[in-house]
Chains A and B, each alone.
Chain A
């Protein structure tokens, strides 16, 4: 099977962010970067499918040069090769624009399955995978928690997560796009051997300007302002040492809230 995984590099999830000078994003100068969580799960699934059915796993990333570090991690986990669409100036930001660029690159590629994350941990639009499917004219399934591929029949079964603890199996003809949900499996660590091999694997750089994409024709959305939400703290915050707050809490649960 030919598997293609879209990886996005995002700022470290656990950092406390600062707003940038323009007020339209976060300061990235002092941050470290990592692979968006759902995307890492989608790479893991691609590797599993290759182990089961043979074939190839390719990574496709849109981002600046620093994204190479995340791609190397993906290659060390076991991907065979990678394509980085270089956007050093950060021109392509909205999901529709990203999907148009990725779709253009994919015209030159062969694949049975494209796997993306359901949503990213930075802007969290949850759009790119589905936009990509429609732009490529492919069927899709979102929020996928299990995959069973049948390459001989050119079919894939995907388990979709639904609301309130429900799940549903769907079947799609391949090629298809699946957007992967966090928690689908356990993500492997790169082995030392994998890390060594990754250094020799190909990362093909594609310049944005070499692609035939007219960014001006994209139905855009614009982020005017980014800010910290105003917190209306409802909670009564208990103050004091550990012993004191615990004592107050038990007292309040018994006498005030009367729940114990």
Chain B
């Protein structure tokens, strides 16, 4: 019997979440390469239509687990359900998206079943018969190849945007219902109200021109040059996470995975290194300009035009030029 790859499918508001489809696309590639079978695993309540939709992808089967207790994510019940399935089925690999929900869940699962976990992977390599996983570290300055030295299933979380849903192949897989007895699981975490921080505040999603500022601005007083540039352009001001964390700008101006997603005509990134969490929020800009002192900053990988230099020189000069 061949080995199996399982992919966890997360969903919300009746939709499959994109990072899970990215994980599925990676799972398809790995399964094909290794000659393994691929299975999508979806937990929830009254989610039959989602399972049907997954069955139209190239998978060997869709495992559907429905229970009232699984209607919303809870670490205790999700961990128990997954522990039971993984322990019984013993897949070779269990893939999950590196989304906030799985950052909350994956290590708990790894501890519960005493298996290895490699988080936030951007890809893999085949090393002989084994898979080696590639991940970023040291604030994305370095990559590491990581290998499991533990029993299967190996648990891997995959960085958002590391693969593309465009690679997803269609096919047909049978939906297999699976019932678990979760009645004894005690839910210790009580879910209270959720809210959107940006609601009713600054909406940058429609902005045509954006001047964005990052850690390179160094302190709040220095923001004046950014404001002047934005004014000269008639642009909105946005920020990467460190600027917002330091309270130099309000959170409703944050771009990235924990902030807003924008697609302006022009995105001018000043002193932003380009961590993946930022890039996912602005990569669809029509034209990206990056100003950064570090020639190796990842922002230059996606920018249209780059200036390697000191933003404290370049930005005022640019403002002056635009005013001419």
Within 8 A of A (CB), among B247-290: 247, 251-252, 254, 257-261, 265-266, 286-290
A246 touches B198 (CB 8 A): no
Asked whether, in the complex, the Cβ of B304 is within 8 Å of the Cβ of A221, the reply is no
Q: How many angstroms from the CA of A259 to the CA of B318 in the assembled complex?
A: 15
B313 at the interface (CB under 8 A from A): yes
A249 touches which of B140, B209, B289, B296 (Cβ 8 Å): B289
- State how many residues of chain B have any CB contact under 8 Å with chain A: 91
Does B107 lie within 8 Å of A169, measured CB to CB? no
- Are A238's CB and B307's CB within 8 A? yes
Chain B residue, CB-CB nearest to A136: B111
**Counting CB contacts under 8 A, is B217 at the interface?**
no
* A234 at the B interface (CB under 8 A): yes
Residue pair B305, A225 in contact (C-beta under 8 Å): no
Stretch at the interface among A64-72, A74-82, A123-131, A196-204: A123-131
Q: B104 — which chain A residues lie within 8 A by C-beta?
A: 130, 140-143, 160
Q: Which of A17, A171, A245 contacts B142 (CB 8 A)?
A: A17
B287 touches A127 (CB 8 A): no
A227 to B116, CA, bound (A): 22
Q: Which residue of A lies closest to B305 (CB)?
A: A236
Q: How far is the CA of A139 from the CA of B306 in the complex (A)?
A: 47
Query: A255 to nearest B CB, angstroms?
Result: 12
The dominant DSSP class at the B interface is mixed
A-side residues, CB < 8 A to B, are 11, 13, 16-17, 19, 26, 95-96, 99, 118, 121-131, 133-135, 139-143, 157, 160-173, 182-183, 186, 219-229, 231-238, 242-243, 245-247, 249-250, 252-253, 257, 259-260
Q: What string of 1s and 0s marks CB contacts (under 8 Å) between B225-241 and chain A?
A: 00000000100000001
Which of B147, B260, B289 is in CB contact (< 8 Å) with A165? Answer: B260
B276-324: which residues lie under 8 A (CB-CB) from chain A? 286-290, 295-296, 298, 300-309, 313-314, 317-318, 321-322
Residue of A nearest to B297 (CB): A231
Q: Is the interface of A mostly helix, strand, loop or mixed?
A: mixed
B143 within 8 A of A: yes
Chain A residue contacts of B244, Cβ below 8 A: 183
Query: Is B68 in the interface zone, CB < 8 Å from A?
Result: no
Which residues of A are found within 8 Å of B287, using beta-carbon distances?
253, 257, 259
**B-side contacts of A242, CB under 8 Å:** 309, 313-314, 317
A222 touches B103 (CB 8 A): no
| Set of chain B residues within 8 Å of A245, measured between Cβ atoms | 307, 309, 314
